[in-house]
A and B are shown apart, each in its own frame.
Chain A
Amino acid sequence: MYEITCDVAIVGGGPAGLAAAAAAKKEGTEKVIIIERDETLGGILQQCIHPGFGLKLFKEELTGPEYYGRFVDKVKELGVETLMNSMVLEIEKNTVVCMNKEHGITNVNTKSIVLAMGCRERTRANIMIPGTRPAGIYTAGSAQRLMNRQNEMVGKKVVILGSGDIGMIMARRMTLEGAEVVAVVELNNFLAGLTRNKVQCLDDFGIPLLLSHTITNIKGNDRVEGVVVSKVDEATKKVIAGSEQFFECDTLLLSVGLIPENELTRKAEIEISSITNGPVVNQYMQTSIPSVFACGNVVHVNDLVDNVSTESAIAGASAAKFAKGELGGGEEISVKTGENVRYVCPQRVVGGGGKVDFYFRVMAPKGQSVIAAKDGDKVLCSRKTIKVNPGEIEKITVDLGGVREIVIESREA
């Protein structure tokens, strides 16, 4: 068996893995290695040729390849090593086992590990639409990969289920390539993705967005011939009988959400949150196994890669400190979700002072709200927002000094 030894091993070479690697190296770690199953670095951003990346971090609007390109240059400059074409099969406290194209089964012995495997898309099986099983049904991301990397046009007349960002971005991409996008169909009565994408990808091309609608049947034998779209009750989400319309199309794209890729995490028996489907972490992005850290979409699905990079730098630096035996601990403070908050990340913190950024998503869209972090009745910090939306991650920064418990809430004003 092929053996490698390093200080910090990073699983996944997408934006999360790249930012973690750079930060680990900057802590003065000798050997940092990125293990990636693909033959190139960059992760999902390799197919995201559209702009909209880096507005927060670089204050300019970059495309996916430009964004990760900057990080690839940086990790190379810093001397991070890479093990490409290596599918990680298993992790343990201090080992990463992978299948390398050249060396076969490879054991990477390491002092700490950063998980950065990203996420995958929900499929038709996950959401259960009845009807036939013809060709022409794709997840939005796989259609994006086919078009942007393999130059394959997936269809001419398209219906998109789900108003997630990838679906909206594909609506624009396919329109620009000459296809007709008939409609974007969304079950909820609010947009799943970013408003910016609705404006620039749907409104710009007059593509209708049908809120509170869903697809109730798919027609076609060899190839999709059309879909049946029905209205749903806004509150109960039940299909309203008699509201069916038939939309002719040859392609159906599914943009119905992403799930963190956590087979490895589960196998290692790391504690997983049932809400985010990602590992439970503390403010150092440390999982329930102290030598294992996690960051990026494997922890919770982010809409902005800028947040991924910021969070991943914390994971990388903490993993490096752990490898050197310098990562402190402390008494655990519990973090809870209050009114209208679906989840908070990190889910736990260890005390000892210092400021921590908490990222969270609300449950339901609301108008003017006050976002607050509380310890019992005491308000630790709060701020007003004009509105909150489940599609957009919120952030609140809390000073941990003297805090015993943290509850994060978003209360309509």
Chain B
Amino acid sequence: MEKEIICTVCPTGCVMHVVGTETLIESIEGYTCPRGKKYGEYEFLAPVRILTSTVKSNEGRLIPCRSKNPLPKGKVLDCMEVLRGVTVTLPIKRGDVIVADILGTGIDIVATGE
């Protein structure tokens, strides 16, 4: 497998070229600093993203929410599906858990607004 990865750690946006398998990196080129190299490795083997969305509340108003930590990228759309079916009961505070351990990822969906 070969992938071109643009580093998003800093605005320089170095373009890395990574070769490897699903579990192993054979070569990685194009990074400028160690933080970028680490990002490239993660992005190649197990890319993750923070998911943000909104959920309905019992008063109709939308409540913004996020995954507390980044989720596996491949799970993002499935998690959206779960959130579409959720209605929270107000009042709610920033940081309150809306869905615990979403889809068995070990990651909570929490409110970001009230």
Contact = CB atoms under 8 A, between A and B. Distances in A.
Interface in A103-160: 147-151
A204 B64 contact: no
B36 to A, nearest CB: 11
B6 interface: yes
B8 interface: yes
Contact of B32 (A149, A151, A386, A392): A386
B13 interface: yes
Contact of A200 (B8, B11, B54, B56): B8
Interface in A360-413: 385-387, 389, 392
Interface string A53-78: 00000000101111001000000000
A49 interface: yes
A176 B52 CA distance: 10
A49 B49 contact: no
Contact of B52 (A50, A149, A195, A385): A50
Contacts of A46: 113
A157 to B, nearest CB: 18
Interface in B6-22: 6, 8, 11-14
Contacts of B56: 151
Contacts of A69: 94, 112-113
Given A49-B53, A51-B50, A151-B62, A65 B113 contact: yes
B80 interface: yes
Interface of A is mostly: helix
B11 A63 contact: no
Given A51-B52, A69-B94, A199 B6 contact: yes
A145 B12 CA distance: 31
Contacts of A386: 12, 14, 32
A329 B65 CA distance: 47
Contacts of A177: 80
A176 B64 contact: no
Nearest to B11: A392
A138 B20 CA distance: 43
Interface in B56-92: 56, 62, 64-66, 73, 76-77, 80
Contacts of B62: 148-151
A204 B5 CA distance: 11
A63 B64 contact: yes
Interface residues of B, number: 25
B73 to A, nearest CB: 7
Given A195-B11, A195-B13, A386-B12, A204 B73 contact: yes
A124 to B, nearest CB: 27
Contacts of B49: 200, 204
Contacts of A147: 54
A49 B62 CA distance: 11
A49 B14 contact: no
Contacts of A148: 54, 62, 64
Contacts of A385: 12
Contacts of B11: 194-196, 389, 392
- In this complex, which of B51, B77, B113 has the most chain A Cβ atoms within 10 angstroms of its Cβ? B113
- In this complex, which of B49, B54, B56, B76 has the most chain A Cβ atoms within 10 angstroms of its Cβ? B54
B57 to A, nearest CB: 10
Contacts of A387: 12-13
Contacts of B77: 176
B112 A199 contact: no
B54 A176 contact: no
B8 A196 contact: yes
Contacts of A50: 52
A308 to B, nearest CB: 16
B70 to A, nearest CB: 9
Given A50-B52, A149-B62, A204-B49, A66 B8 contact: no
28 contacts: A49-B52, A49-B53, A49-B65, A49-B112, A51-B50, A51-B52, A51-B66, A63-B52, A63-B64, A65-B112, A65-B113, A66-B66, A66-B94, A69-B112, A69-B113, A150-B62, A151-B54, A151-B62, A176-B76, A176-B77, A194-B11, A195-B8, A196-B8, A199-B8, A203-B6, A385-B12, A386-B12, A386-B14
The 4 closest A-B pairs by CB, nearest first: A195-B13, A65-B113, A49-B64, A196-B8
Given A49-B53, A149-B62, A151-B54, 5 more contacts: A65-B94, A150-B62, A151-B62, A195-B11, A203-B6
Interface of B: 6, 8, 11-14, 32, 49-54, 56, 62, 64-66, 73, 76-77, 80, 94, 112-113
